[in-house]
């Protein structure tokens, strides 16, 4: 459920339920035809207040379709999300998101929880399970230079609406490098653009 307000109409509370009605204005009269008479006819701007407390701009694309996003052009606010679960039980490097040729992978949200003390590097690379690591996405290129998690500890990054990290090279996989043979579970939300 979103609550919203329109640009300069800050003193009017309007709620969005199932439909959205735009007030129409008569340019000849320069007065609103469906809005209260004390409201001037400015250019309208619609922003939605999300349940996370952040505002999201509503824009239209060239075809007139409405798009909801943060308005920054951030891929996580405009592209379709892909979801993947994370489950590792050995000290290894494993791909969690396969790269797409020519497209960067943006991490919108990630959650990790480890049952044992574990250093976790979030890296990018090519080959099966990033056999060639080309860079660190979060931290360095090794587990030792990544997130240092104590036993029974979790780590959360991002809420899904904006990118928190991205691969530097289009087509690279996103992989996790772990230091311990213990359970590492989690979830990752990404987009590719």
Question: pTM to 2 decimals?
Answer: 0.65
Domains, the chain, in order of start with CATH, read 3-69 (no CATH), 77-192 (2.60.120)
In the predicted model, is pLDDT for residue 23 greater than 60? no
Contact 153, 114 (CB under 8 A): yes
**pLDDT tens column, 82-103:** 999 999 999 999 999 999 999 9
Is residue 184 very low, low, confident or very high in pLDDT (cuts 50, 70, 90)?
Answer: very high
Q: What's the pLDDT score for residue 78?
A: 85
């Amino acid at each position: 459920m979103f609550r919203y307000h329109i640009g300069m109409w800050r003193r009017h509370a309007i709620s969005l339920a199932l439909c959205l009605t735009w007030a129409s204005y008569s340019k000849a009269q320069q007065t609103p035809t469906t809005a209260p008479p004390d409201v001037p006819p400015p250019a309208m701007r619609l922003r939605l207040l999300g349940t996370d407390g952040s505002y999201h701009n509503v824009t239209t694309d060239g075809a007139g379709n409405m798009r909801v996003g943060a308005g920054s052009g951030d891929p996580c606010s405009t592209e379709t999300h892909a979801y993947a679960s994370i489950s590792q039980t050995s000290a290894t490097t494993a791909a969690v998101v396969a790269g797409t040729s020519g497209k960067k992978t943006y991490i919108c949200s990630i959650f990790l929880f480890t049952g044992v003390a574990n250093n976790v590097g979030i890296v990018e690379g090519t080959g099966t399970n990033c056999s060639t690591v080309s860079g660190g996405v979060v931290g360095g290129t090794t587990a030792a230079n990544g997130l240092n998690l104590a036993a029974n500890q979790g780590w959360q990054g991002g809420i899904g609406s904006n990118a928190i990290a991205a691969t530097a090279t289009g087509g690279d996989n996103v992989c996790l490098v772990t230091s311990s043979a213990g359970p590492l579970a989690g979830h990752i939300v990404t987009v590719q653009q």
